[in-house]
Amino acid sequence: MAVNLLAALDDERYGESALGRAHDAAASAGYTLRRVDGANDRLAAWIDFHFAPSWWSFEAGAGSAWVAERDGAIAGFAAFGAHGLKFPWLRRWRERADVGMFGPYGVALEHRKSGIGEALLAAALCGLREARYERALIPAVGGERLIEMYRWRAGAAVVDEFEYDVGRFRATILASGAGSNARNVLERVRDGKLPLQITAVVANKADCGALDAAREHGVAAIPVVWDRAHESRADYDARVIESVAATQPQLVLLLGWMHLLPPAFLRRFPETINLHPSYLPLDPSADEVVAPDGTVIPALRGAHALRDALRAGIPWTGATVHYVTESTDRGTVLVRVPQPVGDATTEEALRESIRPAEFVTVAAAIRRWTFER
């Protein structure tokens, strides 16, 4: 169960002098407040690292945010004024000219109980009032403690109660390898943690571990193997399309699928998302990405991202789930989780170290996809 809360912005606590008071409160606690408008790569990476797995960085980039910093490092943020969000709990509010969106909002663990959270909350609500909104919507809040905090600090009242019930969507998994990510999705579906009905696992290797995972979970296991000596690429691609079409998916999940799909596949199944083992930029056209520590690293696309990270000595890797387009690994990002390379020195060691990040990234991306339907 979650709730939407609404806070009136005509209270004097958000008046002309309120933002100055928020700056003073932040300074007294040893912080400075800085406003950012629109997408900000440094803030997005910081959010991805501290609040993984989530799509909060996308939401923050859809509006503005107040950022708290100490010694040049980000400590917390409060976003406000987002536009274009498709989540169902916003449906009755997103077209209201008098209502502005508050959130997401978070403070790094080591900076909590410092008072900076109160200053950020006040600054963001001041930002909504400055934009001439009359009320602030504080959406999708869970837990009585958090609800009470908003009631006390913002005078907010509950206006909606809802369950995150979006139904069940038919999905087909495409995989080529051992199937650890396919297995993880199948287990989460079995346990009721993902709102999917997995109709089939399609693999381009007959002995693929992903097919074993499908059989163990009572899901159709469909090998579609390319005999390169006797079949053209076009004929093989047509067989893949036919096999997937027979499962009638609403969503196609590429979880370690190592065969480049043709444009005809994407035209037939536009709702196709892919897991990629690196930290990709939110801007699909960018060739660099800002890491959580502020460093700028290459965007590692293609089939050898882990090998390339080790060879180049790049300190960050991670997991990204994005829409599939005709340009390799350049689709819109759903969820991404950064992770330090650490002491991994081999591709296999690095692959194993990011496996937990892949699991949670895929699950969060599926949830976002279902919410945006």
Rounded Cα gap, residues 75 and 26, in angstroms: 11
The DSSP call for residue 220 is E
Confidence of residue 148 (pLDDT cuts 50, 70, 90): very high
pLDDT in tens, 92-132: 998 899 999 999 999 999 999 999 999 999 999 999 999 99
Return the sign of the alpha-carbon dihedral for residues 188, 373, 82, 335.
Answer: positive
CA-nearest of 240, 306, 241 to 276 is 306
pLDDT tens column, 70-91: 999 999 999 999 999 999 999 9
Q: Which CATH class is domain 2-162?
A: alpha beta
For 14, the token pair is 């958000």
In the chain, domain spans: 2-162, 169-371
Active site residue 259: no
Tokens of 27: 């300074």
User: CA gyration radius for the chain?
Assistant: 23
Contact 176, 203 (CB under 8 A): yes
Q: Which of 50, 111, 276, 322 is catalytic?
A: 276
- What pTM value is reported for the model? 0.96
Query: What is the sign, positive or negative, of the torsion defined by CA atoms of 30, 295, 61, 156?
Result: negative
CATH-assigned architecture of domain 169-371: 3-Layer(aba) Sandwich (3.40)
356-369 pLDDT, tens digit per residue, is: 999 999 999 999 99
Contact 173/210 with Cβ under 8 angstroms? yes
Following CA atoms 301, 305, 311, 316 in sequence, which dihedral angle do they give, to the nearest 10 degrees? Answer: 90
